[in-house]
Amino acid sequence: MKIPVRYIINKIFLFIVVLFGAITLNFVLPRLIPGNPAETIYQDVVKASGGAVNPVYLKQLEAEYGLSHAPLYVQYLTYLSDLFHGNLGVSITYYPVPVSTILAQALPWTLFLVITSISISFFIGNRMGRYGGINRNTWKDLTVDIFSMFMASFPAFVMAFIILDIFAVNGKLFPLGGAYSSSINAGFTIPFIISVIYHAFLPVLTIVLTSLGGWTLGMRNNIIPNLNSDFINYSENLGMKSYQIKSIAYRNAILPNLTGFSMSIGLSMSGVIIEESIFSYPGVGMYMITAIDNLDYPLMQGIFLMVIIAVLVGNFIVDLLYGFLDPRIRQESG
């Protein structure tokens, strides 16, 4: 098998550029706002305590945020070198726990949710879209379409609350939160794995339901031009069996849908962040909401950065896979 070298180099280049852009965005955003987060919090504290605050506190806060009055390029370089050393600052909410420690606990759970739910919804969605496309312009197609569109349009977090209410609060079939039962020791044992699946069921179900529509509709619209194309007509006339034709059209249609896969990592990440806070799942989403409520800028920025890196790496892997799967790209660099 030929390795598409130029394609891979392009993708690596893009990866670095986007990563750099995101890191810079993360640096610029807090500095765009008049005043700074430290001042905002300081003012609040002053107001709350009636002015009895030592001004040194402001300096302390600024130091914690990594805010200084040095020229911008110096700040930027310090920021980059801190990042490079894995120093993301200290969380305010969970003072004095470093942001990196929180992330190390939370990120694996989020990744677990994202990967599981994307895989499931990719599989089911494509199958449903295939079903709709094959039965195009019949009531079956219409049912699939309307169902997908409705699922895509219903507010995701309301769906999460409804599911939580039905299955966990009233039904008591599933737990209200957490990633695994506290009575079980963490480790790769069968009861632990069962407990993890049991706790992840509702969040995954919600994300799958709300992200299914995109895949289904995408698949349907990819497979129909394929089924209408001349080579399928030709194969049909040659007497090829219907299931073979369907599988050929399906395979052709799944490739463009895979490009959507890299886009959907970001989208699913958005969904997961929201769902985690609703299902009290100890991933980055839950911490993100806490961070926002407490104006915990270091934690917010740390999460922002980690999530972007995760999404970028995911994209990168999908792009590489795509390079190997798509013969056009494989041959291009020959």
Partner 1 sequence: MGSINHVSGLEKIVGIIRKTKSTLGILFQNGKSATGFIILVSISIFAIAGLFFAPYNPDAYMFRRSLPPNSVNILGTTGYGQDVFSQLFAGAAPTLFIGFSVGILGTLISVFVGVLSGFASKRVNDLINSIVNIFLVVPGVLLIMLFGTYFLGLKENLGYVPTILILIITGWAFGARTFRSVTLSVSKRDYILSSVLIGESKVSIIFRQIIKAIMPVIVSNFFFTAMYGVMGLTFVEYLGVGNLSQVNWGTMLYWAINDEAYLTGQWWWILPPSLMISALMFSFILLNFGLDEIANPSLRIYNKKNRKAKNVTDTQN
* Residues at the interface with partner 1 (CB under 8 A): 14, 17-18, 21-22, 25, 29-30, 32-35, 37, 40, 136-137, 145, 149-150, 152-155, 157-158, 161-162, 164-165, 169, 217, 221, 224-225, 227-229, 263, 266-267, 269-271, 273-274, 288-289, 292-293, 295, 300, 303-304, 307-308, 311-312, 315
- The tally of CA atoms less than 13 A away on the side-chain side of residue 305 is 26
Looking at the Cβ atoms of 54 and 293, the one nearer to partner 1 is 293
User: For partner 1, which is the closer residue by CB, 8 or 18?
Assistant: 18
- Tell the smallest beta-carbon distance from residue 174 to partner 1 (Å): 15
CB neighbours of residue 188 within 10 Å? 6
* Alpha-carbon dihedral 51, 293, 281, 103, rounded to 10 degrees: -70
Q: Judged by CB, which is closer to partner 1: 121, or 315? A: 315
In angstroms, what is the minimal distance from the CB of 154 to partner 1? 5
Q: How far is the CB of 34 from partner 1 (least distance, A)?
A: 7
The CB density around residue 125, as the number of other CB atoms within 10 Å, is 26
Cβ-proximal residues to 154 (8 Å cutoff; 6+ apart), any chain: 210
Q: Which is nearer to partner 1, 41 or 208 (CB)?
A: 41
CA 164 vs CA 87, 114, 127, 171: distances in Å = 37, 19, 27, 9
Which one, 154 or 186, has the nearer CB to partner 1?
Answer: 154
Q: How far is CA 321 from the centre of its chain?
A: 19
The encoded tokens of residue 133 equal 């496309």
CB of 297 to partner 1, least distance (A): 8
The smaller minimum CB distance to partner 1, of residues 80 and 152, is found at 152
User: For residue 301, with 0-12 CB atoms within 10 Å meaning exposed, 13-18 middle and 19 or more buried, which class applies?
Assistant: buried
What is the Cα–Cα distance from 127 to 125, expressed in whole angstroms? Answer: 5
As a whole number of angstroms, the longest Cα–Cα distance in the chain is 88
Least distance to partner 1 from the beta carbon of 323, Å?
A: 16
Q: How far is the CB of 304 from partner 1 (least distance, A)?
A: 5
Q: How far is the CB of 315 from partner 1 (least distance, A)?
A: 6
Q: Which is nearer to partner 1, 178 or 256 (CB)?
A: 256
